[in-house]
Structure 1
């Protein structure tokens, strides 16, 4: 891991980091789109771009997210930087669990499964090992449940080869 990645993990629990990161998310979306998912979160932490279908608009909505691998699946968390409201993408997944993820330039169709019980506990441990700041986000979120999703590749074929830049 790079020194900058290590530093990012160390300061990630501070409230100011969450506020600054929220401001950078729109820029991160643009960089992710321009690089076709190859560069997300400045390459500092394992990240993907998830594209959900808006529950009200019906339009595709893309968001960069930290993930941890779990077998062939991707585990993501609706932390919303510890805010008291749910992130829109997690509400979209509850309404329509099919989505796509761009991981290192590969577009992969997935189906989201909301983790509960012992499975959620297991996945939570994977997440906080990668990003310890999630513990602080839980405290800041108050009574709001922070959702954990396992994004499972669907049977619509193997993950696509990386797309060309042109």
Structure 2
């Protein structure tokens, strides 16, 4: 899929997400999807996610592309971001899971998301697991 095609798909998924309180149809209906807004330009992308207590986590797989997704690199440069889940929106701080924590989070999804193992087996680099920790808003 070309960059232009992927951007069109993102725009369509984001519009559907916001119009339907976070519910999606088609191939995305089976996944919990959040919207992640990153970077100085406030780019928003839909990403499948899972929960770990009050934290969320996502995989920077980018369908096995060598450099990984742009949003991942934006989070490395500036870990402050925003997520939307359903109709809720809140700020988060991103961090990359390491060691035993990465393995625990990775293993917790493999049963349902077998495609992650397929992607991991197809690349020479370790797919990052990104933790999105809520930031408490100051009153």
In which range does the TM-score fall when normalised by the shorter chain?
A: 0.7 to 0.9
Q: Does 1:148 align with 2:129?
A: yes
What SS does structure 1 have at the residue aligned with 2:136?
Answer: coil
Aligned residue-pair number: 132
Aligned-residue CA RMSD in angstroms?
2.2
**Deviation per residue, 1:118-166 (Å, 9 max, x gap):** 11001111222331110001122x2233111111111116xxxxxxxxx
- Pairs within 5 Å for 1:38-77: 38-40=22-24, 42-53=28-39, 58-77=40-59
- Pairs within 5 Å for 1:96-115: 96-115=78-97
Q: Unmatched 5+ residue regions in structure 1?
A: 1-18, 158-166
1:8 aligns to what? none
Relative to structure 1, the CA distance from residue 116 to residue 37 in structure 2 (aligned partners, 3 Å threshold; closer, same or farther) is farther
What is the TM-score normalised by the length of structure 1? Answer: 0.71
What is the TM-score normalised by the length of structure 2? Answer: 0.84
- Pairs within 5 Å for 1:84-163: 84-140=66-122, 142-156=123-137
1:99, distance to aligned residue in structure 2 (A): 0.7
More deviation, 37-46/115-124: 37-46
1:40, distance to aligned residue in structure 2 (A): 4.2
In structure 1, what is the Cα distance between the partners aligned to 2:41 and 2:58? 21
